[in-house]
Structure 1
Amino acid sequence: MTTLTLKEKAYAHLREVILKGELKPGDFLTERTLVEMLGMSRTPIRAALERLDVEGLAKYTPNKGLIVAEISMNRVIDFFDYRMAIECYVVRRLAERHWSKEDVEWFRENLRLQRQYVAELDYVSFTQADSLFHRKLMKVYDNSEITATMEQLQDRMFQIALKVLRKEQSRIQASYEDHAQIFEYIVQGNSDKANQQMEQHLEYGKQILIM
């Protein structure tokens, strides 16, 4: 196994436990503890921590070292406002298009999985399907700048969506229903309703976190 592979493995593991909330905001990320946790030397772990710092999932604090980063309320509001501006526009435009059979089938299968995860109360798997749903809408719209930006936001999308569901567990059913309704409005060609439903969907998520 090469050092590069070890770096990637360390990064992937730490990213996953942070996004899933197994390591919480404010938790210390000490090399000594992580060496024991991952069974690796300090070199790949140090590289993974540097990458997490650059990506905003961890941050250095004076006299404390590296900790899991907290998402400020201002950043949550900015995040949702940005998504509303982009995603409401995209679903409106998508409702004006002819959809391929392949894309329709992809969303039907994604929604089927969402419904399954709702029944199982599997918040992590649901959040993964949720994130894929929103990102796929951007990919179908096929604007390279929007797609690239949304891909950069995917970790925050997952982290914040999971935080919403854990704060209000009944939201998982409502979130699935929102997604299903958004998609139905799009394929029906109802751009106004698709826009309105997406706006309500994102606004509700924002309000849960800032209440």
Structure 2
Amino acid sequence: MDKRDAAVTLRETAFQVIKRHIVNGEWSGGTFLTEKYLSELLGMSKTPIRSALDRLEMMGLVKHSPKQGVIVQELSLKKILEFYELRLSLETYAARKLTGRMDGAFFQRLDDNIALQDEAIRRDDISGYVELDRAFHAMIVGGLDNEEYAEVMSRIQDKFLLAVRMTFVKHKRRLIGSIEEHRRIREALAGQDPALSAQLIEAHIEYVKKIMF
């Protein structure tokens, strides 16, 4: 690996590690992060750290403060509701388009994901379930094979997970309801009724919105 490739790898590693800490809720909104601390934590120079922080700021996960360094962004109620509306539009559209049109490989991926969701619930692994929930919904939008849609979904999910995690922490019984709804959505996508698929997606997302607020 030459120096250029190594630099790219370090930037990507820094980005993924910092993002994971934020999205997992380990660094909550309002947390101050210094380049020195992050450099020591990740065992790398400040250059890839700065690059990662710039990228995270563009995503809206952190903001730079001239006097305090970098601050993890807090999600406002307005912003969370905006994410809900955008996600609802993306996923109901995808559900209508994909119903009755996907191959066995697509459904095998959904089935494998649901099986892992079931394992996470039995382990009481909320963080693991949230990541699998994210992947399940990303697979549905990804089925459109549209890079722009997939990119928008990815940006939403990185921020949305902060809110979703808190929902499952406060309402653990919701895990069972969530996975059952995922199973029904999967079956509807394999059927021939696009309106039903969209209806199930909408109800699934709206229910989380209801119990959160």
Determine the structure 2 residue equivalent to 1:6: 10
SS in 1 for 2:32: coil
Determine the structure 2 residue equivalent to 1:16: 20
Determine the structure 2 residue equivalent to 1:120: 123
- For residues 27 and 65 of structure 2, the distance between their equivalents in structure 1, rounded to whole angstroms, comes to 17
Moved more, 60-69 or 79-88: 60-69
Q: Percent of counterpart pairs with the same letter?
A: 33
Q: Which runs of 5+ in 2 are unaligned?
A: none
Give yes or no for contact 1:6–1:44 (8 Å, CA) kept in 2: yes
Following TM superposition, by how much is the alpha carbon of 1:144 offset from its aligned partner in structure 2, in angstroms? 4.1
- For residues 96 and 113 of structure 2, the distance between their equivalents in structure 1, rounded to whole angstroms, comes to 20
Give, as a single letter, the amino acid of the residue that structure 1 aligns with 2:203.
Answer: Q
String of CA shifts for 1:79-127, please: whole Å, max 9, x gaps: 10111122112212322x3331211222111111111111111112211
- For residues 150 and 191 of structure 2, the distance between their equivalents in structure 1, rounded to whole angstroms, comes to 24
Q: Which runs of 5+ in 1 are unaligned?
A: none
CA RMSD after TM alignment: 2.0
Determine the structure 2 residue equivalent to 1:29: 33
CA distance change for structure 1 residues 4 and 109 in 2, over 3 Å: closer, same or farther? closer
- For residues 208 and 139 of structure 1, the distance between their equivalents in structure 2, rounded to whole angstroms, comes to 27
Give, as a single letter, the amino acid of the residue that structure 2 aligns with 1:177.
Answer: E
Q: 2:152 aligns with which of 149, 164, 182?
A: 149
- For residues 39 and 170 of structure 1, the distance between their equivalents in structure 2, rounded to whole angstroms, comes to 40
Determine the structure 1 residue equivalent to 2:52: 48
Moved more, 136-145 or 103-112: 136-145
Give yes or no for contact 1:111–1:180 (8 Å, CA) kept in 2: yes
Q: Which structure 1 residue ranges, 4+ long, deviate > 4 Å from structure 2?
A: none
Moved more, 195-204 or 155-164: 155-164
CA distance change for structure 1 residues 112 and 55 in 2, over 3 Å: closer, same or farther? same
SS in 2 for 1:188: coil
Moved more, 71-80 or 141-150: 141-150
Determine the structure 2 residue equivalent to 1:167: 170
Moved more, 46-55 or 145-154: 145-154
SS in 2 for 1:66: strand
Determine the structure 1 residue equivalent to 2:86: 82
Determine the structure 2 residue equivalent to 1:91: 95
CA distance change for structure 1 residues 98 and 44 in 2, over 3 Å: closer, same or farther? closer
- For residues 104 and 45 of structure 2, the distance between their equivalents in structure 1, rounded to whole angstroms, comes to 49
Determine the structure 2 residue equivalent to 1:193: 196
- For residues 18 and 148 of structure 1, the distance between their equivalents in structure 2, rounded to whole angstroms, comes to 19
Following TM superposition, by how much is the alpha carbon of 1:62 offset from its aligned partner in structure 2, in angstroms? 5.9
Give yes or no for contact 1:127–1:161 (8 Å, CA) kept in 2: yes
- For residues 143 and 4 of structure 1, the distance between their equivalents in structure 2, rounded to whole angstroms, comes to 26
- For residues 110 and 25 of structure 2, the distance between their equivalents in structure 1, rounded to whole angstroms, comes to 27
Give, as a single letter, the amino acid of the residue that structure 2 aligns with 1:93.
Answer: K
Determine the structure 2 residue equivalent to 1:137: 140
Give yes or no for contact 1:182–1:198 (8 Å, CA) kept in 2: yes
Give yes or no for contact 2:113–2:136 (8 Å, CA) kept in 1: yes
CA distance change for structure 1 residues 48 and 121 in 2, over 3 Å: closer, same or farther? same
- For residues 4 and 98 of structure 1, the distance between their equivalents in structure 2, rounded to whole angstroms, comes to 38
| 2:161 corresponds to 1:158 | yes
Moved more, 20-29 or 97-106: 97-106
Give, as a single letter, the amino acid of the residue that structure 2 aligns with 1:70.
Answer: E
Give, as a single letter, the amino acid of the residue that structure 2 aligns with 1:113.
Answer: L
String of CA shifts for 1:106-162, please: whole Å, max 9, x gaps: 211111111111111111221121111111111223344323322333312433332
